[in-house]
Amino acid sequence: MSPSDEGRVAALGGGLIGRSWTALFLAAGRDVAVFDPDPATEERVRAAVEEAWPVLLRLGLARTDRPAGELVVCTDPRSAVEGATFVQESVPERVALKHELYAAIEPALDPGTVVASSASGLTLSELQAGWVDPGRLVLGHPFNPPHLIPLVEVMGNDRTDPGVVDRARAFYESVGKVTIEVRREVPGHVANRLQAALWREAIHLVAEGVATVEDVDKAVAAGPGLRWAVMGPTTLFSLGGDEGGLASFCERYADSFHRWWDDLGSPRLDEATVAALVAGVAEATGGRDVADLAAARDAVLTEVVAATHGG
């Protein structure tokens, strides 16, 4: 059975990312087995699914008022993966912990089961070292929260079995995700590197007194960030070239970009810089707590995703 077919899904890890994945898989009508040794996991997972369900309905990712699939929570990872056609691993990013988990589940996996790791800071090569045969393992890196943000970065390498990356992408797309393939191993994959590049310059502008944290954030959210929700930067710049497209845009603006690139900063997250950023965020958000800010973010994101990727 292909992972894109109906079948049981295992979610290894009941933390923030694992709970979000679970809600998405249930919305797609899958039976889901969650593994986490924490006794409070079942209560947390069921509460997270209930909280996420209105968003999943709004986005067309859920078709029923409540999950149709069965949710079970296991304290043994082998029980969670037995009979699963796809496994999403989202345990904390500690290599030893992941390797211990892989050693436990590898003998219990059905033939053809694909295992994807949500890892963002670890590389696929590091993860593969925990397997006897890593051919079924891929990187399947989501963005928080996975039930809301469509993107998943999928990566295999020369130790990955033929067709496994394609099968992983087919599975993710069957539950409503948008996938890209990372074709070469680099720290941070693709989207995190893009985020890091923008944030580096945002910090530099604050440190140099060009603008406050609040105004730099406004410059992104009320400016190019709106366009980036619709199209990527290269396509957008192509539109900026009018009928001449990207070639015309580059002819007009190459010198300007070279000048800007040469002037970009390289700040470090030292104690003083972090303190200045923390103070700037507190001032910009007016002291609102994390839960309030996250709820406000997700409410707007839901409408943006519905408009750009909704069913």
Residues of the chain with CATH 1.10.1040.10: 191-309
Q: Is the pLDDT of residue 228 over 50?
A: yes
Confidence of residue 3 (pLDDT cuts 50, 70, 90): very low
Confidence of residue 287 (pLDDT cuts 50, 70, 90): confident
pLDDT, position 1: 41
Q: What is the mean pLDDT of the chain?
A: 95
Q: Is the pLDDT of residue 103 over 70?
A: yes
Buried/exposed code over 279-311 (b: 16+ C-beta within 10 A; e: otherwise): ebeeeebeeeeeeeeeeeebeeebeebeeebee
CATH topology of domain 191-309: N-(1-d-carboxylethyl)-l-norvaline Dehydrogenase; domain 2 (1.10.1040)
Average pLDDT over residues 278-299: 92
Cβ pair 171, 6 in contact under 8 A? no
Across the beta sheet with 151-155, the strand order is 71-74, 32-35, 8-12, 84-89, 114-117, 137-142, 151-155, 178-181
Cβ pair 149, 301 in contact under 8 A? yes
Kindly write down the DSSP assignment for every residue of 184-241, as one continuous string.
S--TTTTHHHHHHHHHHHHHHHHHTTSS-HHHHHHHHHTTHHHHHTTS-HHHHHHHHT
Domain 8-181 sits in CATH at 3.40.50.720
Both tokens of 18, joined, read 């694992």
Residues of the chain with CATH 3.40.50.720: 8-181
Tabulate helix, strand, coil % of the chain (nearest 5): 55, 10, 35
Q: Is the pLDDT of residue 176 over 90?
A: yes
Confidence of residue 6 (pLDDT cuts 50, 70, 90): low
- pTM for the whole structure: 0.92
